[in-house]
Amino acid sequence: MLWLIRNYETLLNYEMISCYTGNMRCGVDWKKPIVVILGATGTGKTELAVEVCLHAGGEMISADAMQMYSGLEIATNKSTVEERRNVDEHLVSSLHPLTFGYTVQHFRQQALQTIAAVQSRGRLPVLVGGTNYYIESLIWNTLLSENQPSHTGNCYYQDLPADLLTMDGERLLDELRKVDPDMACRLHPNNRRRLLRSLQVWHATGRRQSELVEQQRLCDVEQKLLFQNCLILWLRIDRQLLHKRLEARLKRMLERGLKDELVEFYDTFYDQYVAKQNSIPDDNQAKGAFQCLGFKEFLPFLRLEPEARHSTHGLEIFQRCLEQLHLATCRYAKKQVKWIENRIVRRPGSVALPVYALDMHADTPHSFRHCIAQALTLVDWFLSPATVPPVMEPLNQKSLDWKAHDDKLLYVRCETCNRFFDCRYSNSLKEEALAVFFLVQQCHICSGKSNSTVCHLICFSVYRQCL
């Protein structure tokens, strides 16, 4: 069922309305056209979406998880009224900042209802945003089941034995190894939330979470394509140019009042956030708007006393926070691009959709206008196939073996310094790793070898030992 916020001030008190996602009876016409705009943060997706909406009579539907929380207008880079130019934008600022437990299932339910409403007005839905797994959940029926354990409020771990809630991360990891050794290899002992979640799945369903994940991966290949008439535009830019754009955007955010916004938000909501967070046992994972990129990086500064924030020391800390935000944003952009390549462009042929790349070759207005012109040409052809087909060709699928592109994450412990570090390996390395098959029980620092060399030698052997 679709869940909508009934009372803005009452957190996660949802009103169920008749939108049955089990068989997708929620008023959506799956044959009507929909446009999807993808791209890393800072590439100009919203500006492009506005142009498409003005040209084709559309309305924007945001698929940005962090922009769904009210507040932090500057920190999360929400578009202004002037930038939207009277184009309607949905789902932005639709959640209270202290909303806990909002998931991709909730998003899909809300987004489908919104798409149905846009279609009923005879308008074109234009889905835009950087949370790519949100977008993926709308285009393909990728969600395993909406009957899996999903908890909000104070009921996060109601399916777990009480003694597990008092254990530290190391003991939780030991418990998880007993029931799901495959998943235990992928989790760090400091990640209590995910350790408890994996144990919760076992106790609630009697199945290993690793099995469910593998089932999801296999099902993804065969997943039903929901929208039969979907145009996907991918706004791309060279990484170095993007980093410069992100740096310039950060400067504009400062000029617009980022610092004052962060201080006001923190002083208004932090005490309430701590009280609510403490009501959830043994879970210190950031939630609500407090997990937003653009806010959490500034916590070292915001936790200072008000007078200290204006001191020389406070200004130095704020500057370091700015640097951390820039680095985190660049990492996030890289992750977004990888997701688009592996999960959307490389989908198998039976459920694949053509993806058209709009490449910005320079960070100039002329280059962006060229991308807009290409996009509008594609939209015209998409909505009226009788028109002259565009010269552009969709991106080729680089591989039909979608699973081969999925990297796995393993955590291993260095027996010298007792620290955990992550090793990622792909299926293509499996045979070579098996041939080597000996264990270097040291991290790259203690062994004096490069991180990639150590990971190459130990990743698969450690994985097999955990099994």
What tens digit of pLDDT does each residue of 274-299 get? 898 887 765 666 788 888 999 999 99
- Show Cβ contacts of residue 82 under 8 Å, excluding neighbours closer than 6 positions: none
* pTM of the predicted model as reported, rounded to 2 decimal places: 0.74
Mark whether 131 and 268 lie in a shared domain: yes
Helix or strand run (H / E) with residue 26: none
Number of structural domains in the chain: 2
- Indicate whether 460 and 360 sit together in one domain: no
Q: Are residues 234 and 378 in the same domain?
A: yes
Question: Residue written as tokens 């354990």?
Answer: 149
Q: What is the pLDDT of residue 448?
A: 55
| Residue 6 domain flag | yes
Residue 87 lies in a domain: yes
Say whether pLDDT at 8 is over 60. Answer: no
Provide the pLDDT confidence category of residue 301 given band limits of 50, 70 and 90: very high
Q: Give pLDDT, residue 126.
A: 99
Among 79-83, 201-205, 333-337, 358-362, the range scoring the smallest mean pLDDT is 201-205
pLDDT score at 393 = 87
What's the number of CA atoms in the CB half-sphere (13 Å) around residue 175?
22
Alpha-carbon distances of 303 from 267, 270, 284, rounded to whole Å = 10, 10, 17
- Rounded to 10 deg, the angle between the 45-56 and 365-383 helix axes is 40
**Cα distance between residue 437 and residue 191, in whole Å:** 28
Residue 30 forms part of a structural domain: yes
Question: Within this chain, do residues 232 and 105 fall inside the same structural domain, yes or no?
Answer: yes
Classify residue 180: in a domain, yes or no.
no
Same domain, 8 and 99: yes
Task: Report which secondary-structure segment, H or E, holds 204.
Answer: helix 192-205
C-alpha 146/C-alpha 109 separation (Å) is 11
Task: State the Cα–Cα distance between residues 243 and 326, nearest whole angstrom.
Answer: 8
Same domain, 373 and 414: no
CATH of the domain at 269: 3.40.50.300
If asked whether residues 462 and 338 sit together in one domain, one would say: no
In the listed set 347, 367, 383, which residue is the last one of a domain according to the structure?
A: 383
User: What is d(CA 169, CA 195) in angstroms, rounded to the nearest whole number?
Assistant: 8
Co-location of 234 and 351 in the same domain: yes
Residue 120 lies in a domain: yes
Give CA torsion, residues 14, 17, 21, 27, to 10 deg: -140
Task: Please compute the mean of the pLDDT values over residues 232-254 and round it to a whole number.
Answer: 96
| Residues 372 and 247 grouped into a single domain | yes
Does the residue 40 lie in any domain? yes
In a domain, 401, yes or no: no
Torsional sign, CA 445, 448, 453, 458: negative
CA-based R_g, the chain, Å: 23
In the block, residue with structure tokens 């934008």? 89
CA dihedral 265→268→272→274, nearest 10 degrees, is 50
Q: Classify residue 229: in a domain, yes or no.
A: yes
Identify the residue with better confidence: 11 or 29.
29
Structural domain harbouring 367: 2-142+223-299+333-383
> Are residues 133 and 76 both part of a single domain?
yes
Q: How far apart are CA 277 and CA 286, in angstroms?
A: 8
Q: What is d(CA 172, CA 184) in angstroms, rounded to the nearest whole number?
A: 9
Same domain (yes/no): 27, 107: yes
Nearest to 150 by CA among 142, 159, 141: 159
